[in-house]
Chains A and B, each alone.
Chain A
Amino acid sequence: MVNEAPRTLFRKIWDSHIVNHTLEEEQILSVDLHLINEVTSPQAFEALRLAGRTVRRPDLAIAVSDHNIPTLGRALGPTDPESRLQIDTLEKNTIEFEIPHIPLDSEWHGIIHVSGPELGLTLPGMTIVCGDSHTSTHGAFGALAFGIGTSEVEHVLATQTLRQKPALCMLIQIMGALGRGVTAKDLILAIINRIGTAGATGHVIEYAGAVIEDMDMEGRMTVCNMSTEAGARAGLIAPDATTYNYLRKKHFAPTGSLFDQAINDWQYLRSDEGANYDTIVTIDASEVAPMVTWGTTPEAVTTIEGTVPDPAREGSSTAKHQMEIALEYMGLKPGQPLAGLPIDVVFIGSCTNGRLDDLRSAAAMIKGQTVKNTVRAMVVPGSSSVKAQAESEGLQKIFMDAGFEWRESGCSMCLGMNQDQLGPNQRCASTSNRNFEGRQGPGGRTHLLSPAMAAAAAIHGMLIDIRTMP
């Protein structure tokens, strides 16, 4: 249509999912796929039951327990009675309301943000919601995907819609190319450092530019995954040939002429020339180095060549005070170099970095070497399928020979709900997404970094710049 004003990718997906265009402020957004987990759904199902309501579209939902499950001794199930009750409750609810449910022993099992894309459930142009903030991962496919609370889960179950105000739109244009040893994880950490943990509040971020175009789907998922750490409601990347090729032959993706029809529709899913953004940020990828967090929020990050900042140089008294608290919690001193910092635990996994390529890059770093005897290192594959593929490629052997623990899929030490937790003052090199106080266990000290950097830290027993290694 010639007369249409140019629109952003976000706006196109938004407009095509608004139920009634006459509503002001909050609009009703139609939901194409609802992902359900064991932690944020029980109260929603209970409320439905109390109100005598039912699930409107069980065929547009899928449930899996991923947060609270053991990654060892899976066959026995959770030994903790509270965890077991939550997992059993999800199963009972899905039976009662006829919602598809992926059991723990299924070959489809995994962290939903890893399994969903692997199964082809995540397709361009869809609206996807889940009671989990890392739902932003699915934006890598050009799907509008965001996390919601439990009351909103209840709203989606009852109506297959959500009430939302339209988001603002931020374009992050990433020019140049990433250097050797610099990954999608380093890029998103550098972006969060640049715009801050509240930098994209109220926005959906669209990532574009040469670096994104050249990036594979796993890297794009890592970038979109941590959009929420910049405060964004969602991350978005326009689908392209890389996206289509990833989706071919995935279980729930269309086949044959339906796939051709889909590609026809998906080609329209890009921001129009001249589309208006509320905020534009440009990043030079060649300036991004391997990143490591030093504080207790993801914006508190610097390069591996960097040092711990000095609170005395902070402008406001709140910021100064808060940096002092963070450094005390982390057991760090101003001016201390990050490289060389001794590490107690290494965690490779999560919906940010628990995919096959992540495990490949970590394995490449450690092949034939041994984990330092002061370090406990573990790999938790993001899904059963990642685990199986890694085993068939021989990655499991590389990890286990080096002294890594090799676990079953799940969220695990990313959020410390199951037994996989840090002890007080334990310092962890972690490929996960949040370094909040106590996130990985009470008193635990988290340094976020890429899988290759984490693997190198396990071998050397300290943070180390992988670019300086042979």
Chain B
Amino acid sequence: MTRIFTQLTSIAAPLPLNNVDTDKILPGRFLKTISRTGLGRALFYNMRYNSTGDEQPNFILNRSPWRNAGILITFDNFGCGSSREHAPWALMDFGITCIIATSFSDIFYNNCFKNGILLITLGREECEKLMTRASTPAQANFTIDLLSQIIILDDGHNIPFTISKEKRKTLLTGQDDIETTLAYLSDIKSLEKKRPGWMPHISKDLIL
């Protein structure tokens, strides 16, 4: 079951950067876990804390009101680099369930939707506008409505966004991708029957 996302009203935190990689979202040394939870504390660790482990007072998520942000606004190629799903888990554990950017990296994009995090891609101009609003505490509260596919601002303006039908449906219904795929099990099996004889089968007893 995917986490359901329909509507979210929250503070949006501005992160006006390009190419925020998943090492930045969650450094490698925090990947030594066998759980999906508890990573929020390490989110953006190297930006959020100094070398003694104290909060960097200037980092946006350490400041009021953004400390309680549920939405993040950023620019190009957010989530590039490592495929670690620990990055979306850390965002979610912190409380961020919607990210607005000019573009996202491919693996990160899929990882977020698998966890019920809505990613919205907007043009540069619209993103800049939202970045400015998010930087002003009195204007930083947004409502994201996935049903109507709009971002509702405090001044009453709406910004429409597009999203693939399937991704939208997954978030709205929380459908289980594995279950949907297994409905095609007979097709999967018949394609596997055509697997060429030269492709490897690995017996666990074969390992040296």
Contact = CB atoms under 8 A, between A and B. Distances in A.
Contact of B32 (A82, A121, A151): A82
B138 interface: no
Contact of A80 (B21, B32, B187, B198): B32
B-side interface size class: 35 or more
A163 B191 CA distance: 15
Nearest to A78: B32
B103 A416 contact: no
Contacts, number: 220
A33 B200 contact: yes
Given A68-B32, A416-B28, A417-B31, A59 B203 contact: yes
Contacts of B192: 30, 57, 160
B200 A151 contact: no
A159 B198 contact: no
B207 A438 contact: no
B81 A155 contact: no
B123 to A, nearest CB: 15
Contact of B178 (A100, A154, A253): A154
A273 interface: no
A78 to B, nearest CB: 10
Contacts of A98: 204
A254 B114 CA distance: 37
A40 B80 contact: no
A440 B207 CA distance: 32
A184 interface: no
Interface stretch (A196-204, A207-215, A402-410): A196-204
Nearest to B201: A59
A363 to B, nearest CB: 27
Contacts of A417: 28-29, 31-32
A149 B107 contact: yes
A286 to B, nearest CB: 30
A32 B178 contact: no
B81 A434 contact: yes
Interface stretch (B33-41, B54-62, B150-158): B33-41
B200 A121 contact: yes
Given A121-B200, A231-B77, A443 B51 contact: yes
A189 interface: no
B63 to A, nearest CB: 18
Contact of A201 (B16, B31, B77): B77
Given A24-B165, A60-B202, A133-B107, 5 more contacts: A46-B34, A132-B83, A149-B111, A159-B188, A252-B200
Interface of A: 17, 19-20, 24-26, 28, 30, 32-33, 39-40, 42-43, 46, 51, 53, 57-62, 67-68, 80, 82-83, 85-86, 89, 94, 98-103, 106-108, 120-121, 123, 125-126, 131-133, 146-152, 154-155, 158-161, 163, 165, 197-198, 201-202, 228-229, 231, 233, 252-254, 258-259, 261-262, 265, 297, 318-319, 321-322, 415-417, 421, 424, 434, 436-439, 442-443
Kindly list the 7 A-B residue pairs having the minimum CB-CB distance in the complex, ordered from nearest: A151-B114, A149-B111, A42-B34, A262-B198, A254-B198, A198-B77, A149-B85
